Amino acid sequence: MGGMDFRRTYRSAAVAYVDLVSRVPAGRWDEPALGDWTLRELVGHTVSSALRQVPGVLGTPAEVVAVASAEDYWALARSVPAETYAAAVAASGDDARATGLMLGDDLLDAVREMAGRATQAVASAGDDDVVTTAAGGMLVRQWLPTRTFELVVHGMDLAGAIGVPHGMGPEALAEATSQAARVAVAVGDGETVLRALTGRGELTAKFSVLRT
């Protein structure tokens, strides 16, 4: 990836996500969206993981790189004990609800402001700065695409729930899709995914390269 690419892709995904939030009809925030999450909670989770935490992470240096790549970041969830993972999922659900409530009535303004702060922080971070993420120290250029992935995937979730086009650009889609393919290889599903993508096999129902 070129020096600017991952920044530009993140920024375009953030802009597209804010636009999606602007298209949620006012009276629908408490309707179901994804699993147990309402639209408000889905947006709460997405902005917490992909926008709100970005300035803090980028502003917290780490001594060493503990997680070498975006795919290693996602693959890590497959290797932690079940109870650790369950606790993380529960915490994520609590955070989704809390953030959804915190966004209040002027939800769009709050999301737009977070996106602005996040993209500003991204603009001033160095490619090879080592920052402290939830998984440990990572290079900015390896961590930020995991946030773009969150915006793209959950942007699709949101768009699907309200019945509008997701509006994510081809670069953001390409980055998220290639990241998912690399995760598939990292967790041992590379051949399965490649066969499916080339018409030589099928994926099982609800197949995921992520631990869900």
Q: Is the pLDDT of residue 96 over 90?
A: yes
pLDDT, residue 198, reads 98
Mean pLDDT over residues 126-155, rounded?
Answer: 97
Helix (H, G, I), strand (E, B) or coil at 136: strand
Q: Is the pLDDT of residue 9 over 50?
A: yes
For residue 97, tell me if it sits in a domain: yes
For residue 103, tell me if it sits in a domain: yes
CA distance 70 to 172: 15
**Helical (H) or strand (E) element with 131:** strand 130-133
Q: What is the CATH number of the domain that holds 165?
A: 1.20.120.450
CA distance 79 to 77: 5
Q: Quick one: tokens of 178?
A: 């290639």
CA distance 121 to 11: 11
24 CB-near residues (< 8 Å, 6+ apart): 39, 43, 158, 162
Mean pLDDT over residues 22-36, rounded?
Answer: 95
Q: Is the pLDDT of residue 104 over 90?
A: yes
For residue 204, tell me if it sits in a domain: no
pLDDT, residue 212, reads 66
Q: Is the pLDDT of residue 47 over 80?
A: yes
Look-up of token digits 């971070």? 125
For residue 158, tell me if it sits in a domain: yes
Q: How many CA atoms lie within 13 A of 182 on its CB side?
A: 17
User: Would you say 45 and 112 are in contact if contact means Cβ atoms under 8 Å apart?
Assistant: no
Which residues constitute the domain of residue 157?
Answer: 5-178
Number of domains in the chain: 1
For residue 160, tell me if it sits in a domain: yes
User: Would you say 138 and 130 are in contact if contact means Cβ atoms under 8 Å apart?
Assistant: yes
For residue 62, tell me if it sits in a domain: yes
Q: Is the pLDDT of residue 129 over 90?
A: yes
Mean pLDDT over residues 50-69, rounded?
Answer: 98
Q: How confident is the model at residue 126 (pLDDT cuts 50, 70, 90)?
A: very high
Q: Is the pLDDT of residue 2 over 50?
A: no
For residue 140, tell me if it sits in a domain: yes
Q: How confident is the model at residue 78 (pLDDT cuts 50, 70, 90)?
A: confident
Q: Is the pLDDT of residue 4 over 80?
A: no
Q: Is the pLDDT of residue 38 over 90?
A: yes
Q: Beta 37-38 vs 32-34: how paired, if at all?
A: antiparallel
pLDDT, residue 77, reads 85
For residue 193, tell me if it sits in a domain: no
Q: Answer left, alpha or beta for residue 199, where phi above 0 means left and psi between -120 and 50 means alpha.
A: left
Q: How confident is the model at residue 211 (pLDDT cuts 50, 70, 90)?
A: confident
